Amino acid sequence: MDFPTVYTNFWDAVIAVPIVMALTQVIKVFFHIPKTFVPLVALLIGLLISIFISHRGHITAGIFMGWFYGYAAIGSYAALKTNVLAYLKKVRRE
């Protein structure tokens, strides 16, 4: 079995991951999804964008990069939230 060559480009890092983050937040707000299902929603959005938009015709590449989009969005959101909360805690203490 040959694995496809997958290139990470500008689309992946700068456009797709923030789109997944934004769509996840919009869905979370409008549909009141429980916190435990938000990462699953991000993963599904990442898979849908990757399979049907950015890697059409290459299902294995689409699945691989969809996991990348979803988990990169989850990690980026978690890191951003942690940094903001730590900064707010520091500012309130001073």
Q: Tell me what pLDDT residue 57 has.
A: 85
17 within domain boundaries: yes
* 83 is a domain residue: yes
Tell me if 29 is assigned to some domain.
yes
Whether residue 50 is contained in a domain is answered as yes
At a CB cut-off of 8 Å and minimum separation 6, what does 4 contact?
Answer: 58, 60, 61
| Per-residue model confidence as pLDDT tens for the chain (94 residues) | 677 666 667 777 789 999 999 999 999 999 999 999 999 999 999 999 999 998 888 898 899 899 999 999 999 999 999 999 999 999 998 7
**Rounded to the nearest 5°, which phi and psi values hold at 10?**
-55, -40
Q: Which structural domain range is residue 24 located in?
A: 10-93
Total count of domains within the chain: 1
* pTM of the predicted structure, to 2 decimals: 0.83
Q: Has residue 5 been placed in a domain?
A: no
Supply the pLDDT for residue 85.
97
> What local confidence, expressed as pLDDT, does residue 25 receive?
95
Tell me what pLDDT residue 11 has: 73
